[in-house]
């Protein structure tokens, strides 16, 4: 049944998609851009069509319960009673950790916070993680290791407009967040990407390494920085520690050696070093292409090492940053839905952190569970019960066929979502929840700025907020209702208390300040504090104020090509779709633009496989096969194929991907796996 969004008025709000969080104005289902610092009046195609789902016939509006193999409508009381009673039975028979929670990087700060509290207090389980583990975990680990703090961009996006040079590693914002590109227009742009992406087309210098060799490339450029006299000795002496150990490794990675491993010409490596050193104001930025590897944290550390050698982080007009992907990828990992963290970016195994948060929650710190499994490991463990909020893991998880099979072994699968995602379709209980424009809540964008996303339309009858769902379940599990508030502002005020004194300190942020239009970048430790738009100017987040170099070396992808699988596959996003595509595939304009899975290949590679442009071809890895439409692209490497990961069923690119995990971040190796290309039989 088609729902009709009831207009509240014209509301200034933010786009529901990526972490750029573009400013927009919404009147009913009519979107207009507004002049906000991140997008300066621009929107991408997804942003322009963002309101389509507000009155979509695909919208979920009533709870569904599986009966005799079919999902059938049910009342809210019946659905919540069923879920709570099954949780009680499962935990009574198998222990608290038998029930797990999986969250999402698109949830508001309030939802992420209350979800973590629900898992650890109402369920008493250690088993909670979220899909941000698949997005920013390697960058977060590397940033924390180097700077003592993880904030994607520790400076405002607009600072990039004054840069003279920008090195962008593994990112394609021209398609993934187009309004961001305007901030790069004045700089010499160096792009590291094995594809000639839309962003690489804008570059002054495009470095095109073999997939999985970014660390060797970073070492080669670092060697050139030192050998060619660009090392910032003064900065190293006063603001860093550990360079000598790093140089012992980089000294062996002269650019010619790195060229043999990466395929990037030694002359281009030296040119990149010279461009960054000569720029004066320069930035190094990383994104998923260099992070989603089984050594992703070390790869990001290698690029941080390069930035530190050039004296960029914490220097006015220069810096290092990571482009956060999901809408609340930054805030989502700060407030408690990550397996090892408590609100305020506190560590779950820190006794002082546990005591502080437990006091806010009114519980005994000894009753809080310890750290749990990371995202892939949690899903692969097939818990007896699993509650999923804001994620479509059947499409988005690596080795997707295995994860789908493991979910079939779960006794109780509950999914709270806006539409019937592929994960919701296999659930035992589906709970329809409000979406972005139907509720108040805060988001934290890629620059650490806390934003108020305002309610603009009335939700359809029968839909509840995630906060209401969590309270309803918590009450049925024996918790006092007041412990789980349902008003977003009330939840946020509690979040402020829980985060106070932590690395991500929101104590001084309030809805009133956000309504007044204040630009508040965390940390904001008090109500009279102006926020911290530029971190690290006075020192890094270690007791001695110095950044740490990380001793990392190249080891290559977990699954190199061989005679059986001679090519390498990499995955990514396209302009018109977002993440698993559960929402964008329901927007006719976006589906008309990109309606099916395709595979980019070099014409010579296609010819060797016996296919031509427009043919269907099979791409096979050790884990599965997908069938995709061939697109011949002369600029792609001959040893590489590229597939977008937005499509369901047998078109899931993640049927191919390797779940090998980074030992530090537990990030799966999405960005490279060994495959072969074959004509369809």
Task: Verify that 193 and 216 share a domain, yes or no.
Answer: yes
Which of the listed residues 452, 478, 503 is the one where a domain comes to its end?
503
How far apart (Å, rounded) are the C-alpha atoms in residues 236 and 310?
9
Q: Are the C-beta atoms of residues 64 and 73 closer than 8 Å to each other? A: yes
Assigned domain for 543 exists: no
Task: Look up the CATH number of the domain holding residue 49.
Answer: 2.20.25.90
Which of the listed residues 503, 527, 557 is the one where a domain comes to its end?
503
- Asked if pLDDT for residue 2 goes beyond 50, the answer is no
pTM confidence score: 0.96
Which of the listed residues 327, 346, 378 is the one where a domain comes to its end?
327
Assigned domain for 459 exists: no
Task: Verify that 344 and 372 share a domain, yes or no.
Answer: yes
- Asked if pLDDT for residue 3 goes beyond 70, the answer is no
Task: Look up the CATH number of the domain holding residue 374.
Answer: 3.40.50.740
Task: Verify that 399 and 486 share a domain, yes or no.
Answer: yes
Question: How sure is the predictor about 601, in pLDDT bands with cuts at 50, 70 and 90?
Answer: very high
How far apart (Å, rounded) are the C-alpha atoms in residues 492 and 486?
10
| pLDDT, tens digit (0-9, with 9 covering 90-100), for 99-110 | 999 999 999 999
The proportion of the chain whose per-residue pLDDT surpasses 70, expressed as a percent, equals: 99
Task: Verify that 129 and 239 share a domain, yes or no.
Answer: no
Task: Verify that 573 and 647 share a domain, yes or no.
Answer: yes
The proportion of the chain whose per-residue pLDDT surpasses 90, expressed as a percent, equals: 97
Task: Verify that 572 and 619 share a domain, yes or no.
Answer: yes
**Residues 6 or more apart from 488 whose CB is under 8 A from it?**
108, 110, 439, 440, 441, 442, 467
Assigned domain for 499 exists: yes
Assigned domain for 207 exists: yes
User: In terms of Cα–Cα distance, which of 603, 601, 583, 579 is closest to 591?
Assistant: 583
Backbone phi and psi for residue 299, each to the nearest 5 degrees, phi listed first = -60, -45
The stretch 25-33 carries a mean pLDDT of 92
| pLDDT, tens digit (0-9, with 9 covering 90-100), for 275-326 | 999 999 999 999 999 999 999 999 999 999 999 999 999 999 999 999 988 9
How far apart (Å, rounded) are the C-alpha atoms in residues 62 and 81?
15
Question: How sure is the predictor about 1, in pLDDT bands with cuts at 50, 70 and 90?
Answer: very low
Task: Verify that 12 and 89 share a domain, yes or no.
Answer: no
Task: Verify that 295 and 211 share a domain, yes or no.
Answer: yes
Tokens of 173: 């914002």
Assigned domain for 531 exists: no
Q: What is the mean pLDDT of the chain?
A: 96
Assigned domain for 523 exists: no
Predicted local confidence at residue 233, as pLDDT: 98
Mark 46-68 as b/e (b = at least 16 C-beta within 10 Å).
bbbbbbbbbbbebbbebbbbbee
Structural domain count of the chain: 4
Assigned domain for 36 exists: yes
| pLDDT, tens digit (0-9, with 9 covering 90-100), for 196-254 | 999 999 999 999 999 999 999 999 999 999 999 999 999 999 999 999 999 999 999 99
Task: Verify that 283 and 160 share a domain, yes or no.
Answer: yes
Tokens of 540: 């890094």
Q: Are the C-beta atoms of residues 513 and 502 closer than 8 Å to each other? A: no
Domain that holds residue 386: 71-134+328-433+465-503
Task: Verify that 161 and 89 share a domain, yes or no.
Answer: no
Unique residue bearing structure tokens 């507004």: 34
Question: How sure is the predictor about 29, in pLDDT bands with cuts at 50, 70 and 90?
Answer: confident
| pLDDT, tens digit (0-9, with 9 covering 90-100), for 626-648 | 999 999 999 999 999 999 999 99
Task: Verify that 648 and 591 share a domain, yes or no.
Answer: yes
Assigned domain for 210 exists: yes
Task: Verify that 356 and 489 share a domain, yes or no.
Answer: yes
């Amino acid at each position: 049944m088609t729902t009709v969004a009831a207009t509240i008025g014209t509301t200034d709000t933010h786009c529901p998609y990526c972490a750029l969080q573009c400013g927009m104005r919404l009147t009913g289902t009519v979107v207009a851009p507004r002049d906000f610092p991140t997008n300066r009046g621009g929107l991408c195609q997804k942003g322009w069509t963002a309101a389509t789902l507000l009155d979509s016939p695909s919208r979920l509006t009533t709870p569904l319960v599986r009966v005799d193999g079919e999902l059938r409508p049910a009342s809210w009381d019946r659905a919540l009673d069923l879920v709570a009673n099954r949780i009680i039975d499962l935990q009574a028979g198998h222990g608290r950790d038998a029930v797990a929670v999986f969250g999402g990087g698109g949830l508001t700060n309030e939802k992420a916070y209350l979800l973590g509290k629900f898992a650890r207090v109402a369920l008493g389980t250690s088993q909670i993680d979220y899909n941000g583990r698949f997005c920013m975990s390697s960058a977060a680990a590397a940033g924390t290791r180097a700077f003592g703090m993880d904030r994607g961009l520790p400076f405002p996006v607009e600072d990039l407009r004054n840069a003279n040079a920008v090195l962008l590693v593994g990112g394609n914002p021209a398609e993934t967040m187009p309004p961001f590109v305007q901030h790069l227009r004045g700089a010499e742009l160096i792009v590291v990407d094995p594809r000639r992406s839309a962003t690489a087309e804008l570059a002054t210098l495009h470095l095109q390494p073999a997939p999985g060799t970014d660390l060797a490339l970073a070492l080669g450029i670092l060697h050139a920085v030192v050998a060619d006299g660009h090392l910032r000795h003064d900065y190293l002496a006063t603001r860093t520690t550990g360079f000598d150990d790093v140089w012992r490794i980089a000294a062996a990675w002269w650019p010619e050696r790195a060229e043999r491993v990466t395929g990037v010409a030694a002359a281009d490596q030296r040119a990149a070093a010279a461009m960054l050193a000569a720029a004066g104001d320069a930035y190094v930025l990383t994104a998923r292409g260099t992070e989603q590897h089984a050594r992703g944290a070390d790869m990001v550390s290698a690029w941080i090492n390069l930035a530190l050698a050039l004296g960029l982080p914490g220097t006015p007009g220069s810096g290092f940053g990571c482009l956060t992907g999901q809408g609340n990828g930054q805030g989502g990992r700060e407030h408690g839905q990550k397996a090892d963290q408590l609100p305020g970016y506190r560590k779950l195994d820190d006794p002082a952190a546990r005591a502080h948060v437990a006091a806010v929650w009114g519980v005994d710190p000894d009753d809080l569970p310890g750290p749990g499994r990371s995202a892939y490991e949690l899903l692969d463990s097939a818990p007896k019960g699993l509650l999923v909020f804001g994620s479509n893991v059947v499409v988005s998880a690596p080795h997707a066929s295995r994860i789908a099979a493991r979910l079939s072994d779960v006794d109780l699968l509950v999914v709270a979502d806006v539409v019937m995602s592929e994960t919701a379709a296999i659930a035992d209980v589906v709970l329809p929840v409000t979406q972005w424009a139907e509720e108040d809540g805060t988001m934290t964008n890629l620059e650490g700025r806390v934003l108020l996303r305002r309610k603009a339309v009335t939700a359809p009858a029968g839909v509840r907020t995630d906060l209401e769902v969590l309270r309803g379940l918590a009450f049925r599990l024996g918790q006092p209702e007041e412990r789980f508030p349902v008003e977003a502002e009330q939840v946020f005020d509690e979040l402020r208390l829980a985060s106070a004194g932590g690395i991500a300190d929101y104590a001084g942020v309030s809805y009133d300040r956000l309504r007044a239009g204040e630009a508040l970048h965390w940390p904001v430790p008090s109500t009279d504090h102006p926020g911290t738009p530029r971190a690290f100017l006075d020192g890094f987040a270690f007791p001695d104020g110095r950044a740490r170099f990380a001793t990392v070396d190249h080891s290559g992808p977990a699954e190199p090509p061989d005679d059986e699988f001679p090519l390498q596959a990499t995955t990514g996003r396209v302009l018109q779709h977002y993440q698993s595509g559960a929402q964008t595939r329901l927007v006719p304009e976006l589906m008309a633009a990109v309606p099916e899975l395709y595979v980019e290949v070099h014409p010579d590679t296609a010819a060797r496989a016996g296919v031509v442009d427009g043919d269907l071809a099979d791409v096979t890895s050790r884990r599965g096969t997908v069938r995709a439409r061939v697109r011949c692209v002369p600029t792609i490497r001959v040893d590489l194929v590229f597939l977008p990961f937005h499509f369901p069923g047998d078109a899931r690119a993640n049927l191919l991907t390797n779940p090998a995990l980074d030992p530090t971040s537990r990030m799966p190796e999405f960005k490279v796996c060994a495959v072969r290309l074959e004509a369809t039989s």
